[in-house]
Amino acid sequence: MKLQGMYDDEPVKEGPSINIGSKSEVTNPDKSIYKEIDYGFSVNDSIIYVHGDIVLGLLFDFVSKVRTILDNRDESQKDAPITVLINSDGGDVYEALGIIDYIKSLPVKVNMVARGRAMSAAALMLACTTGTRAASKMTSIMVHEISTANQGKASDIRANADHLFELEELTFQLLAQYSKQDIEFWRKQARKDFYMTADKAKEYGLIDAVI
The verdict on whether 144 is a catalytic residue reads: yes
Nearest one of 119, 120, 112 to 140, comparing CA atoms: 119
Residues in a beta bridge with 48: 20, 84
The verdict on whether 51 is a catalytic residue reads: no
Whether residue 127 contacts residue 96, with contact meaning beta carbons closer than 8 Å, is answered with: no
Cβ burial, residue 2 (10 Å; 0-12/13-18/19+)? buried
Please, which residues have CB within 8 angstroms of residue 197's CB and are 6 or more apart in sequence?
A: 139, 140, 141
Which candidate in 24, 42, 46, 120 is catalytic?
Answer: 120
Whether residue 93 contacts residue 115, with contact meaning beta carbons closer than 8 Å, is answered with: no
Q: Considering only the C-alpha atoms of the chain, give the largest distance between any 2 of them, rounded to a whole number of Å.
A: 58
Helix (H) or strand (E) holding 186: helix 183-189
How far is the CA of 24 from the CAs of 46, 73, 74, in angstroms?
A: 9, 16, 17
Please, which residues have CB within 8 angstroms of residue 151's CB and are 6 or more apart in sequence?
A: 157
109/4 Cα distance (integer angstroms): 29
Which candidate in 24, 32, 144, 179 is catalytic?
Answer: 144
Residues identified as active-site? 120, 144
